């Protein structure tokens, strides 16, 4: 694949990053991952807004221009001859003097990465099993969790379940409450109410999470955020996870508990409505 680094098209296996980049040295940087369907990125504005907020919080003096970024995205799709793709957009602090920063970062590095994905389907992309992790979710370094280049907590957690195929791991907070998946936000359903951990638990404010909460409201399902014990999942009617690449994913087994779904289960209603939102965007393009 061809990637774009600081506006230059580069073969992915030939790409190099300066060793003085503070993203490499200290993990100063952020990224967004999102899907492109038929040439259009879904919830692109929301991803860029979250990225901009993080850039400002990390002291990177850079303004993300949504229109220019969209043009760069189209260029990335064109040079790779793709219309359905997984995109990762990274803003690294860029090259700076060795040592801790003494002023704002003013020359960030911008990296676009791409991977082919299947076209939009009416069916769920997958379903998964889930287990409770021994590794606890670390506390955010800032007032709320950012999608930073420092992914060590998630990597350590992933190593716990490397031998478990098609399985997501669920973090607990240091206090023992449900937090989130390694690469996902967590939801469960009980008595026709939708539950998800509160942002104050230190989880990522997921773009797909926000969209699902909005859709659930439109379907007249109460959405309750809070602090939940892991035993709540064993007593739930449905459990599912969300992220921008996998969309909405039913959990068919959590620990020893199995879940059965049908077309009227809330998770499948949400999947249908989520995909309908994507289709509406595609029609607007025509």
Mean pLDDT for 125-137 is 95
At residue 265, the pLDDT reads 96
- C-alpha 130, offset from chain centre: 17
Whether the Cβ atoms of residue 81 and residue 36 lie closer than 8 Å to each other: no
Collapsing DSSP to helix, strand or coil, 167 comes out as strand
Percent of the chain exceeding pLDDT 90 equals 94
For helices 44-57 and 66-80, what crossing angle results, to 10°?
Answer: 120
* 128-282 topology per CATH: D-amino Acid Aminotransferase; Chain A, domain 2 (3.20.10)
Residue 125, pLDDT above cutoff 80? no
Mean pLDDT over each residue of the chain, to the nearest integer: 96
- Inform me whether the pLDDT recorded for 30 exceeds 60: yes
Question: Average pLDDT for residues 58-86, to the nearest whole number?
Answer: 97
**What is the per-residue pLDDT across 214-269, written as a single tens digit (0 to 9) for each?**
999 999 999 999 999 999 999 999 999 999 999 999 999 999 999 999 999 999 99
Q: How does residue 134 score in pLDDT terms, banded at 50, 70 and 90?
A: very high
pLDDT band for 147, please (50, 70, 90 cuts). very high
- Residue 190: burial class (beta carbons within 10 Å; 0-12, 13-18, 19+): middle
- Give the per-residue pLDDT at 284: 80
Section 172-198 average pLDDT: 98
In the predicted model, what is the mean pLDDT of residues 135-160? 96
The values of phi and psi at residue 73, to 5°, are -65, -45
Output phi, psi for 123, to 5 deg: -90, 160
Closest CA relative to residue 270, chosen from 223, 202, 205: 223
**pLDDT for position 123:** 80
Report the CATH fold assignment for 2-116: D-amino Acid Aminotransferase; Chain A, domain 1 (3.30.470)
Calculate what percentage of the chain has a pLDDT beyond 70: 99
Name which residue leads in pLDDT, 95 or 124: 95
Contact 64, 18 (CB under 8 A): no
Q: Where are the domains positioned within the chain?
A: 2-116, 128-282
Q: Give the start-end residues of each E strand in 117-199.
A: 128-132, 167-172, 178-181, 185-190, 193-197
pLDDT on residue 122: 85
For residue 52, give every residue at least 6 positions away whose Cβ sits within 8 Å of its Cβ, in sequence order, or none: 63, 64
Mean pLDDT, range 172-189, rounded to an integer? 98
Locate 171 and state its tokens.
């973090």
């Amino acid at each position: 694949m061809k990637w774009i680094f600081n506006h230059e098209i580069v073969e992915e296996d030939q790409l190099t990053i300066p060793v003085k980049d503070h993203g490499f040295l200290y993990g100063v940087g952020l990224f967004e991952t999102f899907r492109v369907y038929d040439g259009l990125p879904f919830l692109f504005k929301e991803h860029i807004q979250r990225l901009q907020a993080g850039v400002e919080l990390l002291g990177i003096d850079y303004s993300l221009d949504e229109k220019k970024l969209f043009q760069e995205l189209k260029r990335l799709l064109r040079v790779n001859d793709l219309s359905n793709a997984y995109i990762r957009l990274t803003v690294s602090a860029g090259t700076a003097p060795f040592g801790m920063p003494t002023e704002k970062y003013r020359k960030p590095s911008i990296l676009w990465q791409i991977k082919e994905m299947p076209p939009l389907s009416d069916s769920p992309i997958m379903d998964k099993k889930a287990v409770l992790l021994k590794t606890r979710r670390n506390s955010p370094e800032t007032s709320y969790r950012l999608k930073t280049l420092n992914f060590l907590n998630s990597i350590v957690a992933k190593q716990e379940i490397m031998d478990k195929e098609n399985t997501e791991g669920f973090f607990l907070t240091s206090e023992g409450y449900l937090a989130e998946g390694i690469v996902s936000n967590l939801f469960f359903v009980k008595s026709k109410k939708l539950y998800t951990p509160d942002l104050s638990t230190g989880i990522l404010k997921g773009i797909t999470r926000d969209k699902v909460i909005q859709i659930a409201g439109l379907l007249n399902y109460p959405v309750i955020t809070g602090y939940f014990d892991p035993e709540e999942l064993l007593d739930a009617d449905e459990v599912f996870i969300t992220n921008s690449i996998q969309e909405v994913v039913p959990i068919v087994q959590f620990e020893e508990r199995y879940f059965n779904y049908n077309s009227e289960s809330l998770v499948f209603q949400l999947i249908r409505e989520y995909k309908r939102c994507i289709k509406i965007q595609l029609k607007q393009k025509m």
